[in-house]
Structure 1
């Protein structure tokens, strides 16, 4: 097989991966580069954007496999090519596993196990995925020299005994796409507070923009209610974590925690900042339709998630309107609060190293190569997701997130809310903006709101 033949396989090859009885072929042991060993033994790299320095000789032969949830992982394949510049005699292969939730544990228990695999935060603590974490390399081991200092503090996932088993690859958030050209044309600045948002919406409506804000009228995470109001809800929990247990146990009285965010969401609709009926009629799904409607060029602000933003780059050429009249757009936190919006600094995708890898030295070397502001930034830029590093500068779309106030930032370690509680909030938000429930009814009905 040509070493540059990086394949993306389907469920058929996945089955072969799980059931194969043929052991993994032996690979040449990496040779320590004596001229560099002294420098590398000094410990973990200092400085988030220090250049990568190879530990092994350039003629080292190896074969590494990565498995994950993306059917197309072009940004990772670009990193393969960049790694070949240091180690041209290697072969890296990415495999998409269909039905990942049910196939990843089988893949790790098979004969030809992957060297690197994808995990997500919600998997931790779920007994179905215990083997994913039990079998993971400790990346914070100083002997590996993986530069985890480049990762934002809120995304460094310390587990028991402060061990770090995962490398965040992409981050995401919730907020809104902003048509920068419209704001410049109308002589307006992007609002930072809720009062400013109302004032801006008044001016935009006077200028002929019927619904200054739009979004997908769904109860999903990219939908209107979640993208606008959930960060405020999360900040409420962060400020008083004593409520978490009752929220997770669906105790009705815990619904009071939703009141402030749902009230603000209702105010957004009642004030006329967003026309829910227009959104329903013109945006039929929470991903592709959101992007394509935004590219029509007449929507000042489009509520969405970072995962939706990730689809914009490929769709620019698919929009006749955008091709004819391209415009600048950026992602901003939705200004739901009196003092400003709330930034949900959320993980999107993480890598674990299989500590039983037959190619463990070079697998760790590839992770060490990735753990750099430059490489992770390039990957995020190509995927158009948020970088997990401290430097947002590579992708101007997310420049507004740089130096966002810490007191209005919520990361995954700040709250521990189970999916059942999140679904209650999503359902409540959807019911409120569509007039199916009042805020009082949603608050009082917590734990019993239909989520289907």
Structure 2
């Protein structure tokens, strides 16, 4: 009898033990099946927003665990903007694609053709996109990425310095020369130069080519693609580029984007050819700073003084992702009706979706006034690799390692090579 009792107790204890092993508590404290563990690899080339993204990802992880019992680990890589594209291309070429990665909207067609992008058409987030923004991420009728950073941008200017000297944003090259002269007379540096990272000086060609091509040489890109044009046709871009370089802060190769933001926030120069995407960094240094956004004059034709409309940062999902369902959950969470407005406002990004409900910033309204007057253009689509070559050559041009003619010749060759490679 005792033997049977002992065996019965042992059996009961073993059964309870097995039951306990098969039922673990999830992180949210609910008893049930063990949470499924998933790791997502994410690459976004915006290290200045590391804290904001990490915080938002923690919110997503909690939501995914609570709603789907999926325990998500996010491996976030944030290379510098001037290295991000090369890092991504190397990973794609070696079949090590991140589950989610950022791509400039102008490059989506290239990545789509190569078969790297998941078609996002029909995803809940895409249904809420503003139509004008949606058009920037479509290819052959399909939505290939989710817009994150949509911009109306030009150069930044210090409103306090401008107001102090009675200056207004110039609309022609001669007016800009007048502004530069008055700033120099007042012992104020006209332009901040931060050339350590090549993508920053490249913004000068983005704005100057954009204004000149959109106003006076509207078929230039088409002709360049056919080998029927040259950078010599748009060499007027050097008029304002030379003015900026000759009236800028000293030792620009010792100043990167972060340091440049600090210097601009502290009033070291009145203007900076940089976009409002740096607002968060600038205002962190000087929360009381008032800066504006204005179009950069290219010539004495005021029609070419235009705001650049672009979608720069977009988020794509890898077609080869092994965790596609969770990756899509994270992508859609970027447009979450409850949480995404706070994220976009904290990042100082423009609203891009009907779910975004927050007050925009003064510089957004200022740029929008130019757009409303028709003084804006859609960001130019240049062949793959051309922008990077412009960036390097502008550094060399400032250092007087290449002259204007060599710049033109090198860019013509780079463009021709890019077209040939794409065929």
TM-score by length of 2: 0.66
Q: Which stretch has the larger CA shift, 415-424 or 385-394?
A: 385-394
Residue 156 and residue 428 in structure 1: after superposition, are their counterparts in 2 closer, same or farther (change >3 A)?
Answer: closer
Structure 2 residue aligned with 1:418: 383
Q: CA deviation at 1:381?
A: 3.7
Does 2:164 align with 1:199? no
Structure 1 residue aligned with 2:136: 156
Structure 2 residue aligned with 1:130: 114
Structure 1 residue aligned with 2:40: 65
Structure 2 residue aligned with 1:348: 312
Cα distance in 2 for partners of 1:181, 1:439 equals 35
Cα distance in 1 for partners of 2:311, 2:334 equals 17
Cα distance in 1 for partners of 2:312, 2:386 equals 20
Q: Which stretch has the larger CA shift, 373-382 or 415-424?
A: 373-382
Does 2:314 align with 1:336? no
Deviations 1:94-125 (CA, angstroms, capped at 9, x unpaired) = 3124744333566767xxx84x4444446545
Q: CA deviation at 1:395?
A: 3.6
- SS at structure 1 position matched to 2:254: coil
TM-score by length of 1: 0.63
Cα distance in 1 for partners of 2:410, 2:330 equals 50
Q: CA deviation at 1:218?
A: 6.3
Larger Rg: 2
Structure 2 residue aligned with 1:289: 259
Residue 84 and residue 255 in structure 1: after superposition, are their counterparts in 2 closer, same or farther (change >3 A)?
Answer: closer
When the two chains are superposed, the root-mean-square deviation of aligned CA atoms in Å is 4.5
Residue 27 and residue 171 in structure 1: after superposition, are their counterparts in 2 closer, same or farther (change >3 A)?
Answer: farther
Cα distance in 2 for partners of 1:221, 1:66 equals 25
Q: How does 1:78-89 map to 2 (within 5 A)?
A: 78-80=55-57, 89=66
Deviations 1:112-155 (CA, angstroms, capped at 9, x unpaired) = x84x444444654557983422xx1x3332x7473343364376
- SS at structure 1 position matched to 2:148: strand
Q: CA deviation at 1:423?
A: 4.9
2:282 is matched with which residue: 294, 312, 323? 312
Deviations 1:79-100 (CA, angstroms, capped at 9, x unpaired) = 4465578766054443124744
Q: CA deviation at 1:157?
A: 1.4
Q: CA deviation at 1:258?
A: 2.4
Q: How does 1:377-388 map to 2 (within 5 A)?
A: 378-384=342-348, 388=352
Cα distance in 2 for partners of 1:330, 1:373 equals 30
**Where does the alignment leave 5 or more consecutive residues of structure 1 unmatched?**
5-25, 29-60, 317-321
Q: Which stretch has the larger CA shift, 431-440 or 416-425?
A: 431-440
Q: CA deviation at 1:419?
A: 4.3
Structure 1 residue aligned with 2:53: 76
Q: CA deviation at 1:167?
A: 0.3
Aligned partners of 1:140 and 1:148 also within 8 Å: no
2:207 is matched with which residue: 223, 231, 254? 231
Structure 1 residue aligned with 2:194: 216
Structure 1 residue aligned with 2:149: 170
Cα distance in 2 for partners of 1:167, 1:424 equals 27
Q: How does 1:81-160 map to 2 (within 5 A)?
A: 89-90=66-67, 91-97=71-77, 99-104=87-92, 114=99, 116-121=100-105, 124=108, 126=110, 130-133=114-117, 136=118, 138-141=119-122, 144=124, 146-150=126-130, 152-153=132-133, 156-160=136-140
Question: Which one has a larger percent helix, Structure 1 or Structure 2?
Answer: 2
Does 2:280 align with 1:302? no
Residue 282 and residue 2 in structure 1: after superposition, are their counterparts in 2 closer, same or farther (change >3 A)?
Answer: farther
Q: CA deviation at 1:287?
A: 1.3
Cα distance in 2 for partners of 1:361, 1:233 equals 41
Aligned partners of 1:69 and 1:100 also within 8 Å: no
- SS at structure 2 position matched to 1:416: coil
Structure 2 residue aligned with 1:187: 166
Q: CA deviation at 1:179?
A: 1.8
Q: How does 1:26-65 map to 2 (within 5 A)?
A: 65=40
Structure 1 residue aligned with 2:5: none
Q: How does 1:426-445 map to 2 (within 5 A)?
A: 426=391, 442-443=407-408
Cα distance in 2 for partners of 1:105, 1:440 equals 35
Structure 1 residue aligned with 2:371: 405
Residue 152 and residue 27 in structure 1: after superposition, are their counterparts in 2 closer, same or farther (change >3 A)?
Answer: farther
Cα distance in 2 for partners of 1:358, 1:442 equals 44
- SS at structure 1 position matched to 2:273: strand
Cα distance in 1 for partners of 2:34, 2:376 equals 46
Aligned partners of 1:228 and 1:336 also within 8 Å: no
Size of the alignment, in residue pairs? 367
Deviations 1:33-70 (CA, angstroms, capped at 9, x unpaired) = xxxxxxxxxxxxxxxxxxxxxxxxxxxx9967351135
Cα distance in 1 for partners of 2:249, 2:191 equals 9
- SS at structure 1 position matched to 2:249: helix
